[in-house]
Amino acid sequence: MNESAVSHQRSVYLDDTYTTEVVTRVIARGVRDERRWLAVRDNIVHPQGGGQPSDVTSLNGIPSTVVRDPEGEPLVALAPDEPMEAWPEIGERVTVSVDRARRLENAALHTAGHLVDAAVRLRDYKHIVSNHFPGQARIEFEATEPLTDAEQFVAAVQSDVDTVVEKNLDVAAYWADGRRYVRIGDFSLDECAGTHVSNLREIRDLLVRSAKVKKGRLKVGYTASYSGGSDR
């Protein structure tokens, strides 16, 4: 149970992909499934959602599990995986870190997924769901007919995304009517709560690896990685 009223939590990760460590204050704490958790005011941690995995996270140097909405509160919280010498009090300063390499790989893969999604939607397919997990990334669409030539389809989508990546377009997030949108130049605009790189030059090895229709769904698999192109 929370030991103080829950204050507003700032979702820093939505505005800044590149902040991967912060010293901030505890605003809530409690117990869930017999594990202690706490939430901080300045949250840099992306929780699993929207097809994107959670950040790999530590609290005061201790590996921690990301907890979404503990006890129904609209918070992203952390549950340490190991005992802490002293359990932080409300208002106490703590250090939260996320694995920078993993964060940027996830951000690049998610951004690449938006490109693949947009390229397929140009072919009159309706988006259903996305999976941006490393090693299994794919986008699924409604499909009423089988692909007549999957290899040709993959090549066409690959050509489209290659052309866009070569333009080094900026990737921008903004809020409108309480919703967050991510725009990639004039090619893609989607409602999204994930992390993204700031420019397409930070994506490398974007490969559309497969396309198949099964049970009324077109499943398009892809891979991509982070180029190390940001100096932030």
Per-residue pLDDT tens digits for 29-76:
998 888 899 999 999 999 998 889 999 999 999 999 999 887 777 889
Among 4, 222, 225, 7, smallest CA distance to 117 is for 222
Angle (CA) 32-37-42 rounded to 5° is: 135
Q: What is the pLDDT of residue 4?
A: 46
pLDDT tens by residue, 115-151: 999 999 999 999 999 999 999 999 999 999 999 999 9
Instruction: Return the residue matching tokens 């994930």.
Output: 194
pLDDT band at 3 (very low <50, low <70, confident <90, very high): very low
Q: In the chain, where does DSSP find H-type helix? A: 12-15, 100-121, 150-165
- Which residues sit opposite 43 in a β-bridge? 11
Confidence of residue 229 (pLDDT cuts 50, 70, 90): low
Q: What is the pLDDT of residue 2?
A: 47
Say what the pLDDT of residue 79 is: 95
Rounded distance between C-alpha atoms, residue 221 and residue 118, angstroms: 14
pLDDT at 5: 42
Percent of the chain with pLDDT over 70: 95
pLDDT of residue 39: 95
Give the contacts of 193 (CB within 8 A, at least 6 positions apart): 14, 49, 50, 180
Task: Indicate if the alpha-carbon torsion angle 105, 107, 108, 109 is positive or negative.
Answer: positive
Q: pLDDT-based confidence at 228, cuts 50/70/90?
A: confident
Q: What is residue 132's predicted lDDT score, i.e. its pLDDT?
A: 96
Tell me the pTM: 0.92
How far is residue 118 from each of residues 7, 90, 155, 161, measured CA to CA in Å?
Answer: 38, 44, 15, 9
